Amino acid sequence: MAKSFSIRHQPGFTTIAAVCFVALYMPIIVLVVYAFNEAPSTSEWGGFSLKWFQSASQNAQVIDATLRSFQIAAIAATLATIAATMAALATTRTPPYPGLTFKYAMINQPLMVPEIVTGVALLIFFSRIKIFTGYSGLGYLIAAHTAFCIPFAYLPIRARLENMDLSLERAAADLYATPWQAFRRVTLPLLWPGILAGLMLAFVISLDDVVITEFVKSGGQDTLPTYMLGQIRRGITPEINAISTAFLLLSVVIVTLFFFVSRKRD
Amino acid sequence: MPEQPGKNAIEVRGVRKVFGSGEAAVAALDTVSVSIRENEFFTLLGPSGCGKTTLLRLIAGFDYPSAGEILLYGDDIALLPPFKRPVNTVFQSYALFPHMTVAQNIGFGLEMLRKPKAEVKARVAEMLKLVRMEHLASRRTSQISGGQQQRVALARALAPQPKVLLLDEPLSALDYKLRKEMQIELKRLQNQTGITFIFVTHDQEEALTMSDRIAVMSSGKILQVGSPWDIYDKPADRFVADFIGETNFLTASIAGVENGKARATLKSGATITASVADGFQPKAEATVVVRPEHAKLTKGKAELSGTVENIVYFGTDTHIHVRLDGSNDLFIVRQQNARSAGCGFEAGDKAGIAIGDDAAQVLRD
Ligand SMILES: Nc1ncnc2c1ncn2[C@@H]1O[C@H](COP(=O)(O)OP(=O)(O)OP(=O)(O)O)[C@@H](O)[C@H]1O
Ligand SMILES: [Mg+2]
């Protein structure tokens, strides 16, 4: 080849890139803009106002759903991160053996099985348990969220562990640290950035979930996304835009934090 | 090998280590037995892949033998986990804890042994002094040079006063000058602490200059154990003779072995007295080795004769390559240089090669 190949200089590249960006960001920009609309419409501009943010923040249902979302996300992300950390240790701190790939697949199952399938399966499974035990609290949602958050927490933790020199843990064992002490004093401190990154990712994923939550939740257990879905069915007001905007801001903050934490070395 | 006096710190008895299974099985260690004495600087020397690291890892407890025993002062430790063995390791990559300071690294082992705080502090200070790192005690280990990291790794491994210190090519990451410095430093530390050192290297010069005794390894076996003099002057077999230093191989017929000496008749017809390697099985023909500096070039007749082919000047000495009469092999003689004097020979000269009574060694293979 005479000239080196550069994708940027292919005909149509700029156009395609521009179309993609517009398709990706235009709807979001429009949504955010109309969150500040004075008029009760999501298509006709009636001047700037913060009233939808105000009304959303005083809406008891919104507050209730938000708190529930955070509660579920916090507990599920924590449990998922603990499980993911153990799984990551178990899959990286042994010599490779037949069946290890299968275990990776098992851990990452929620990434592969369609959510709707998991949702239906959980609905049937949990309804049986509900009949047997009579319990109908948040436990079901927390359990479901924990399960599908595990691979998201697992991936950054495993990546971090794979980059960590095994000889450090060996050195600790050589210097009389029991396996637990070696973990507490050497592995864990060096693993923290990975664990935090996994925790944040799991938190965002849980916060955002609709499909599985919709199937698993009992009456009066709306999370913010399912509440929004319910509202949209009845017609959209800029209040939904306002909630979405706040939600977007929160996600951006968490993902940015995730980015910095997971980039941190040493 | 006759049993030597002195206590054994480590005894390796018939240890095998096989990696993999079935057809892919590799014997990284093939029935190795060796005794390492208390307070000695013992070196495992051998080419890459011969099993040095594997043996060290078995002694440290990072891996377990497929067969055999490893005794530490008489107790079998082969199956103890590393944190229960009073043996410490200096890793090739140093493996310093990056989230701790120099002082915290050094104190780690003592802390794990639950020594009182005051004792840990005092011992860390002592260790810092021993490796001359007092001024860097509160630095992160990522903020010090390679040579300094090496010292910290040493201090960290020495702080808990292990019964045996294992060092796996600890100097290989250092440049030439620092390496020479650290060799001296290591010897000093060993003398000062009186701890048994087991040192791994593939550098024969390093092994010869530092060790009390050396074990030469090849493909999972120990071929010879002995003092640097033994290993250099009395190599047991062809591999050892070839691996360490330069040497001349001759074929000779052997007559009458007595008291470790044999009468060897060279192809030239001359008969010399040669020492005989341990484990030599009497046979008609054997290989005899002569180090280049143990032979002498003469103008007149001697045990061997030939034609000078090449003269290579090295500053301190000169190597003279002689094509032997009859066999047509090349024989190298090394001569010490005197100031403003040539070696006395020129290419094309006929010369004799004198081999003294104590210059030759008969190999066992
Ligand atoms: N975990 C392992 N699995 C399979 N084979 C191994 C393993 N560790 C070592 N070996 C093999 O065992 C043999 C000895 O390896 P070892 O690391 O002990 O060599 P070494 O003498 O330390 O070499 P070097 O000087 O290169 O460090 C090699 O052939 C190596 O390939
Ligand atoms: Mg090695």
| pLDDT per position as a tens digit, B203-257 | 999 999 999 999 999 999 999 999 999 999 999 999 999 999 899 999 888 887 8
Of all ligands present, the nearest one to the C-alpha of B48 is 1
B168 CA to centre of ligand 2 in angstroms: 7
Residue position matching structure tokens 């240089």: B337
Gap between the Cα atoms of B328 and B351, Å rounded: 14
Half-sphere exposure of B159 (CA within 13 A, CB side): 35
User: Are B258 and B288 contained in the same domain?
Assistant: yes
Indicate whether B70 and B171 sit together in one domain. yes
Is the predicted pLDDT of residue B130 greater than 50, yes or no? yes
Helix, strand or coil, per DSSP, at residue A65: helix
| Among the ranges given (A200-209, A233-242, B84-93, B145-154), the one the predictor scored with the smallest mean pLDDT | A233-242
* Cα–Cα distance for residue pair B165/A63, rounded to 1 Å: 64
The whole-chain average pLDDT of chain B stands at: 90
**Does the distance separating the beta carbons of A172 and B97 come in below 8 Å?**
yes
One domain, residues A43 and A102: no
Report the half-sphere exposure of B311 (CA within 13 A, side-chain side). Answer: 17
CA distances from B184 to A143, B170, B215 (A): 62, 13, 21
Both tokens of B237, joined, read 């077999």
Dist. CA B50 → ligand 2 center (Å):
8
**Alpha carbons within 13 A on the beta-carbon side of A238:** 25
Looking at residue B84, its pLDDT comes to: 94
**Structure-model confidence comparison of residues B277 and A96, the more confident one:** B277
> Mean pLDDT throughout A35-41?
86
Q: Is the pLDDT of residue A266 over 60?
A: no
- In the numeric block, the tokens 């006395």 are attached to B344
Q: ∠ CA B7-B11-B13 to the nearest 5 degrees? A: 145
Of A174, A177, A185, the CB nearest to B89: A174
Pairing of strands B87-90, B8-19: unpaired
**Cβ-based neighbour number of residue B135 at 10 Å:** 9
pLDDT on residue A1? 47
**pLDDT exceeds cutoff 70 at B5:** no
Indicate the number of domains in chain A.
Answer: 2
What distance in angstroms lies between residue B72's CA and the mean position of ligand 1's atoms? 24
Close Cβ partners of A76 (under 8 Å, ≥ 6 residues apart): A142, A145, A146, A149, A202, A206
Using the mean position of ligand 2's atoms as its centre, give its distance from the Cα of residue B199 in Å: 11
Q: Residue A148's domain is classified under what CATH number?
A: 1.10.3720.10
- pLDDT band at residue B1, thresholds of 50, 70 and 90? very low
Q: CA of B152 to nearest chain A CA: how many angstroms apart?
A: 13
Q: Is B14 within 8 Å of B176 (Cβ atoms)?
A: no
- Name every protein residue with a CB atom under 6 angstroms from any ligand 1 atom: B 19-20, 26, 28, 46, 48-54, 202
B217 with B356, same domain: the answer is: no
Instruction: Give the model confidence (pLDDT) of A146-155 as tens digits.
Output: 999 999 999 9
Which residue has a Cα nearest atom 6 of ligand 1?
Answer: B19
Residues A249 and A221 in one domain: yes
Q: What is the band of A3 on the pLDDT scale with cuts at 50, 70, 90?
A: low
Which of A29, A47, A40, A28 has the alpha carbon at shortest distance from A238?
Answer: A40
Helix (H, G, I), strand (E, B) or coil at A146: helix
Ranking A9-13, A200-204, B155-159, B237-241 by mean pLDDT, the lowest is A9-13
pLDDT reported for residue A222: 92
The parent domain of residue B272 ranges over 246-362
| Position B171 pLDDT exceeds 60 | yes
Contact A175 B160 (CB under 8 A): yes
CB crowding A122-153: b at 16 or more within 10 Å, else e: bbeebeeeeeeeeeeebebbbbbbbbbbbbbb
Query: Interior CA angle at B132 toward B131 and B136, to 5°?
Result: 110
What average pLDDT does this structure show over A62-70? Answer: 93
Same domain, A197 and A101: yes
Say how many CA atoms lie within 13 Å of B59 toward its Cβ: 37
- Are residues A210 and A118 both part of a single domain? yes
A167: nearest CB among B84, B95, B108: B95
Single out the residue in B209, B233, B257 at which a domain terminates: B233
| One domain, residues B187 and B320 | no
pLDDT value of residue A93: 84
> Which of B145-154, B169-178, B258-267, B324-333 is most confident?
B145-154
A175: nearest CB among B81, B88, B98: B88
Q: Which residue has the higher pLDDT, A262 or B129?
A: B129
**B2 band by pLDDT with thresholds 50, 70 and 90:** very low
Q: Do A165 and B93 touch (CB under 8 A)?
A: yes
Partners of residue A189 in chain B, C-beta under 8 Å: 99
pLDDT mean over B125-129: 92
Chain A residues near residue B91 by CB distance under 8 angstroms: 167, 170-171
Here the contacts of B69-76 (C-beta below 8 Å, separation 24 or greater) are B69/B11, B69/B12, B69/B13, B69/B14, B69/B15, B70/B10, B70/B11, B70/B12, B70/B13, B70/B15, B71/B8, B71/B10, B71/B11, B71/B12, B71/B13, B72/B9, B72/B10, B72/B163, B72/B164, B73/B7, B73/B8, B73/B9, B73/B163, B74/B11
A3 located within any domain: no
> pLDDT tens across B177-193, in order?
888 888 998 999 899 88
**Does one domain contain both B225 and B81?**
yes
How close does chain A come to B225, measured CA to CA in Å? 27
Based on the fold, state whether residues A16 and A64 are members of the same structural domain: no
What is the phi/psi pair of residue B163, to 5°?
-75, -30
pLDDT-based confidence at residue A10 (cuts at 50, 70, 90): confident
Q: Please report where in the chains the tokens 């501009």 appear, as a residue.
A: A45
DSSP state of B194: -
Same domain, yes or no: A146 and A209: yes
Q: Would you say B288 and B252 are in contact if contact means Cβ atoms under 8 Å apart?
A: yes
For residue A102, the enclosing domain spans: 59-263
B105 and B38 within one domain: yes
Out of B184, B207, B233, pick the residue that ends a domain.
Answer: B233
Cα torsion at B218, B223, B226, B229 (round to 10°)? -70
Contact B317/B337 with Cβ under 8 angstroms?
A: yes
Structure tokens at A235: 């017609």
Which of B30, B43, B52, B66 maximizes ligand 1 atoms within 8 Å of its Cβ, making it the mutation to test the pocket? B52
Q: Which residues contact A152 (CB under 8 A, 6 or more apart)?
A: A80, A198, A201, A202, A205
Number of domains chain B contains: 2
Instruction: Report the C-alpha gap between B243 and A83 in whole angstroms.
Output: 53
Same-domain pairing of B144 and B256: no
- Distance, CA of A215 to CA of A190 (rounded, Å): 39
Domain final residue, candidates B233, B260, B284 = B233
Percent above pLDDT 90 for chain B: 59
Contact A189 B89 (CB under 8 A): no
Mean predicted confidence (pLDDT) in A4-25: 84
**In this structure, is residue A54 part of a structural domain?**
no
Q: Calculate the alpha carbon distances from A229 to A14, A110, A222, A234, A252 in Å.
A: 36, 23, 10, 9, 21
The H or E element that residue A86 is part of is helix A60-92
Identify whether residues A42 and A167 lie together within a single domain.
Answer: no
The CATH number linked to B282 is 2.40.50.140
The reply to whether A242 falls in a domain is yes
Average pLDDT of span B298-320 = 88
Domain-embedded: residue B26: yes
d(CA B169, CA B47): 12
Report yes or no on B1 lying in a domain: no
Specify if A2 maps to a domain: no
CA A68 to each of CA A139, A234, B4, B128: distance values in angstroms, whole numbers, following the listed order = 12, 22, 77, 55
Q: Please tell me whether residues B190 and B134 are part of one structural domain.
A: yes
ipTM of the complex: 0.82
Same domain for B117 and B33, yes or no, is yes
Contacts of A165 in chain B (CB under 8 A): 93, 95
Q: Which one of B32, B43, B54, B64 would you pick to mutate in the ligand 1 pocket, going by the greatest count of ligand atoms within 8 A of its CB?
A: B54
Q: Are residues A16 and A142 in the same domain?
A: no
Q: Are A55 and A67 in contact (CB under 8 A)?
A: no
Same structural domain for residues A39 and A98? no
With contacts defined as CB-CB under 8 Å, which chain B residues touch A167? 91, 93, 95
Whether residue B131 lies inside any domain: the answer is yes
In a domain, B107, yes or no: yes
Give a yes or no: residue B238 inside a domain: no
CATH of the domain at B162: 3.40.50.300
Q: Are residues B281 and B304 in the same domain?
A: yes
Residue B158 scores a pLDDT above 60:
yes
Closest CA to A82 of A207, A202, A260: A202
Q: Convert the pLDDT of each residue in A40-62 to its tens digit.
A: 877 788 888 888 999 888 989 99
Q: What is the pLDDT of residues B6-32, one digit of tens each?
A: 689 999 999 999 998 888 888 999 999
The answer to whether residue B3 is domain-embedded is no
Same domain assignment for residues A144 and A31: no
Are A32 and A94 in a shared domain?
no
Count CB-CB contacts under 10 A for residue B169: 18
pLDDT 10s digits, A171-197:
999 999 999 999 999 999 999 989 998
Higher per-residue pLDDT: B309 or A96: B309
Which of A142 and B182 is assigned the larger pLDDT? A142
Is A227 part of any domain? yes
Same domain, yes or no: B41 and B180: yes
A139 and A21 belong to one structural domain: no
Q: For residue B24, give Cα distances in angstroms to A25, A100, B18, B20, B21.
A: 56, 20, 10, 6, 6
DSSP secondary structure, B235-295, as one string: -SSHHHHHHSS--EEEEEEEEEEETTEEEEEETTS-EEEEEE-TTPPP-SEEEEEE-GGGE
Q: Check whether residue B188 and residue B263 sit in a common domain.
A: no
Give the SS3 label for residue B1: coil
What is the reported pTM?
0.81
